[in-house]
Amino acid sequence: MRDHGGDLDRARSAYGGTDWLDLSTGINPVPYPMPALTEGALGALPLAQDVAALEGVARSAFGGGDSTACLAMGGASAAIQLVPRLARAGGARVLGPTYNEHAAALRAEGWHVQEVATLAELAGAELAVVVNPNNPDGRCHDPDALQALARKVGLLVVDESFADSCPALSLVPRLEYAPRAIVLRSFGKFYGLAGLRLGFALGAQPLIDALRRMAGPWAVSGPAIAAGRAAYADRDWQEATTARLTRDAARLDGLAARAGWALVGGTPLFRTYATPDARAAKDGLARHHVWSRIFPYSETWLRLGLPGQAEGWARLDRALTQMAQS
């Protein structure tokens, strides 16, 4: 089932009201300040030189070398839909449980998909998918292990949508030694501008050239190009944001522990907790107009994003306190 967070329409339909605190996603609630847009960014088609400049600054921010090709796309989700077309459909393995869109996109293109529980079980697959760090449990994999795995599969896809705050996990600096690997990156999550729809695919030139042909012209918008060029060059903002997100994740863990929930794992952008009953916990929060995320494969896991502003923290605190008292 291709269910996702951010589905406030469902929350409003089921519980009413419009004043919701949406913690169902892993999007930074304090976004990068949008730069002033030129008339050309909105009124003209993007120039190839501007797209190339964006791809260059992004590749540098991710730690990629000159031999690594980079393609800007309309979100990491756009790349997820196209990656299955890079090879003839066959047997694919996905390290799970994880973000459900990978398996869904593969099946839509005719792949037979098997979910496995360990990296070792991915070896031998015609196409293998790893999300690092993983969504929703935050499981992490050493890039040395992923580089070695890339030699044992037909194509390795590593989704690093939540890797901005933990760059040591990234396979991007090693892609020149892993020609059968592609890394996907998301802009909207860490930078908090998900509505711009910007993401990247990085890998060997032949793989990225094939994706570029499938993506077609003008795969990213002028506003996305402007925001990405500014944000990826802003190292001070990146460092300050990583520090703030880390503090806020620990604060969220404290609130959850007080409610009796145990940390399963997560990243600085989201936390997943084991609760006595995930559906009951989600319902309890929703009755206070706090939207959360649960998963069809677990009766206990509940994921929360970060509230961000002071009012959001206070609102979540009140909801958890009143739930404990009821």
Beta strands in the chain (DSSP E): 21-22, 69-73, 91-95, 112-116, 127-131, 156-159, 181-186, 199-203, 262-267, 270-274, 290-291, 293-294, 301-305
Q: What is the mean pLDDT of each run of 10 residues along the chain (326 residues)?
A: 83 94 97 94 95 98 97 97 97 97 97 98 98 98 98 98 97 97 98 97 98 96 98 98 98 97 98 98 97 97 96 97 90
Place of tokens 């929350």: 11
For residues 155 and 86, is the Cβ–Cβ distance under 8 A?
A: yes
Is residue 239 within 8 A of residue 257, CB to CB? The reply is: no
Domains of the chain: 8-31+236-324 (3.90.1150.10), 39-233 (3.40.640.10)
| Residue closest to 73 by CA, chosen among 202, 175, 232, 263 | 202
Identify the pLDDT of residue 6. 86
What pLDDT is recorded for position 1? Answer: 54
